[in-house]
Amino acid sequence: MKELIQNFSKQLTEALAIGEKALLHNSVSEIRNVLITGLGGSGIGGTIIAEVVSAQCMVSITVNKDYFLPAFVNEHTLVIVSSYSGNTEETTQAMEGAMQRKAKIVCITSGGKVEATAKQHGIDCIIIPGGNPPRACLGYSLTQLFYVLNFFKLINADFKTQLRSAIDLIVKEEAFIKAEAEQVAEFLNEKIPVIYAVDGFNGVATRFRQQINENSKMLCWHHVVPEMNHNELVGWAGGWGDLAVVILRNKNDYSRSQTRIEISKEVFLKHTSHVREIWSRGNSKLEQSIFLIHLTDWASFYLSEMNHVDVMEINVINHLKGELSKI
């Protein structure tokens, strides 16, 4: 895992090359909405990209994390099937549903049933390198999502420049990122992490939570501002000292949201002394997201070392899949 995190910039560079060579075909029908279906490390890219491109994509993007598809999916829907292994049962079932609805389908996978089904039915499929934990291959799947949306003229090609800038940024700032991540891990050690971000970075915050869950073997939760100001903030009346708040921040976050965070911090500090901020770097939302993802990935790795756990082990998930396969 350490090597995979270290090579995140190389993965993004390779992903750009894969995207440039991807062979896709236009939809017979006009694309009026997009659905990205996938779970866990394969699905989080959908949540992130939906937020990153929200200011320019003129059709709605829905992220699906279930066996079933919403009723709106039809021949005017672009369904992007994202399954790193290609065998995620929820995603393969959703893919079958998309085929029945005659949606335009594009798959992103390293193989498995998704690739086999795509070949059998002549469905567009972008193959990414396999053999690693899905959560460690976000760079591959996220980048391909950009290329798919761009191919169907739903977003422009600015993402390429922004991704290359993000790669340069994390390479240049690698020493700072690792040092900051280690401090964040020490801050969270033997505490219960509570992660906050502004709306628009929910995907990045979710990714951090997932990495703490899988890599660090810890429970935690996350929420976004301003929504948490309308419910969870009241719940802090029951807060306690073992909670450690990490707020993901950006200098260009909306001013009212910035003010909300500052007021919310006063509430947190009444119940715990453990409040810390991580400020992004970068000139675009995509660069800022990549920076925060890389930093928090490192934090989850360092936290796994402090917890003396195997960062790669996911036996309970494998047990669940094994039990489901018996039914």
Give the active site residues: 214, 230, 321
Residue 134, both tokens: 């899905």
Report the alpha-carbon distance of residue 137 to residue 251 in Å, rounded.
28
Q: What is the distance of C-alpha 137 from the center of its chain?
A: 10
Contacts of 249 (CB under 8 A, 6+ apart): 197, 198, 258, 261, 277, 278, 279, 280
Contacts of 133 (CB under 8 A, 6+ apart): 1, 4, 41, 214, 312, 314
Helix/strand/coil for 28: coil
Report the alpha-carbon distance of residue 123 to residue 107 in Å, rounded.
8
Report the alpha-carbon distance of residue 70 to residue 246 in Å, rounded.
34
Contacts of 229 (CB under 8 A, 6+ apart): 260, 264
Specify the amino acid at residue 310. D
Report the alpha-carbon distance of residue 153 to residue 25 in Å, rounded.
12
Instruction: Name the nearest CA neighbour of 41 among 114, 138, 132, 143.
Output: 138
